[in-house]
Structure 1
């Protein structure tokens, strides 16, 4: 897997921050490169697949960022107010996140799509 990163970084970041940054770079690349190219080529199935994969990676990065913020003393209340979300929504989204869900192909037995964790 190619690791993307911020070329402006001056000092070394902790490994968990580097992994979040890499995930964000990967999601951005999937959208700006893969999905855009597929869109312009009219490959709708590839557009959907690229965007779903980017969404998956973004959800993972979001969960890891919340986890990191909580370990550094942030609360759902402060995170929610800064991101214009309700604390209840943010807490529920964080607690309901399930990495194993991503491995499921198609809808589960309840008709939910694996990539719609926070929707």
Structure 2
């Protein structure tokens, strides 16, 4: 079996795969990447197991104030998997009102490092 979590990078990818698996279980014929077929093997039981694995992946939520390039997203994912948790997937949100910095949510902890938060605290 492959280390499927190395292939999954974002929450969006997890959600897309879950929809494809549901379609497969309902009799559809979605096109899966080769690594998914290798992970599942033969039979419907493998699809259910993969669904459970996907649902259990930890989510690293990050809000930033700009639309990042694909290269930037790749670097973020690489950093998270190397420094935070190798099985984590990135849930990236864009909120231009934060002005700069970032808001991070991980394993029940929330940290607001945004410029808008700093300015708000300065004015109080």
TM-score (norm 2): 0.27
User: Which structure dedicates a bigger proportion of its chain to helix?
Assistant: 1
Ranked by relative contact order (alpha carbons within 8 Å, sequence separation 6 or more), the top structure is 2
Structure number, greater radius of gyration: 2
Q: TM-score, normalised by structure 1?
A: 0.28
More strand by share: 2
